[in-house]
Amino acid sequence: MAHPTMIPAGQGAGLRLRRGEQIRLIDPNGGQSGDLLAFTDDGAQRLSNGRTFDYNGKVYLSTGDVLWSDRSEPMLTIVVDEVGRHDFLYASCSIEMYRMQYGATGYHANCHDNLCAALRQQGIEPEPLPTAFNFFMNVEIAADGRLTFAPPRSRAGDSMILRAEMDLVIALSACPASTCNGGGTTGPLAFEVL
């Protein structure tokens, strides 16, 4: 078996999956979240959190759940999930978010730019960018609807496996936002196609 491909902290990667292929997403060091976007290989359909919530009837997704396209077609099925908590509510972090919420000046690595660059390298025009599936990201929803970040539940070596239900272009980002990663330093992610 080939070694997993590493995604350095704060960076992204793109790849193509054929129908039936599986991708294993790995947290090498533990406590790291990432963003995943999927488009059909012609760019006509994109991952949809709204359709995914509609058809699964829940916001917390895990083993057996399907991630759906904006045209109501199944894109990815979660086949194995060693972590059990992921987010599909929050938009990918962006330059604007770092400026507005953290007062950042100058450039800050961000998932929006990572995902757009990865998709463009695969020949897909991504913008406007849909909501990414934030794997390993742990968001708690309070009774009043407030959202709070909790540290990811992933430990070193934990992973999840998703199966492509159609030919797809996938973009991944190792999220550089410390709030999404337990407030500490951010680390790499890894993936392998099975």
State the average pLDDT over residues 58-68: 97
Render pLDDT for 78-114 as a digit per residue (tens, 0 to 9). 999 999 999 999 999 999 999 998 888 889 899 999 9
Q: Is residue 16 a part of any domain in this protein?
A: no
Provide the percentage of residues in the chain whose pLDDT is more than 70: 99
| Res. 67: pLDDT tops 80 | yes
More confident residue, 101 or 57: 57
d(CA 111, CA 124): 16
d(CA 145, CA 164): 32
At 183 the pLDDT is: 79
Question: Could you tell me if 186 and 9 are in contact, meaning their C-beta atoms sit under 8 angstroms apart?
Answer: yes
pLDDT-derived band at 175 (thresholds 50, 70, 90) equals very high
At 54 the pLDDT is: 98
- Angle at the Cα of 47 from the Cα atoms of 42 and 52, rounded to 5 degrees: 145
Mean pLDDT of the chain: 95
Q: Is residue 61 a part of any domain in this protein?
A: yes
Q: Which distant-in-sequence residues (6+ apart) come within 8 Å of 100 by Cβ?
A: none
At 74 the pLDDT is: 98
Q: Is residue 17 a part of any domain in this protein?
A: no
State the pTM of this model: 0.95
State the average pLDDT over residues 136-142: 96
| Res. 2: pLDDT tops 70 | no
Q: Is residue 13 a part of any domain in this protein?
A: no
Boundaries of domain holding 132: 30-155+175-184
d(CA 102, CA 129): 22
At 3 the pLDDT is: 86
Q: Is residue 129 a part of any domain in this protein?
A: yes
Domains in the chain, number: 1
At 159 the pLDDT is: 98
Q: Is residue 48 a part of any domain in this protein?
A: yes
More confident residue, 134 or 182: 134
At 185 the pLDDT is: 73
| Res. 28: pLDDT tops 70 | yes
Q: Is residue 44 a part of any domain in this protein?
A: yes
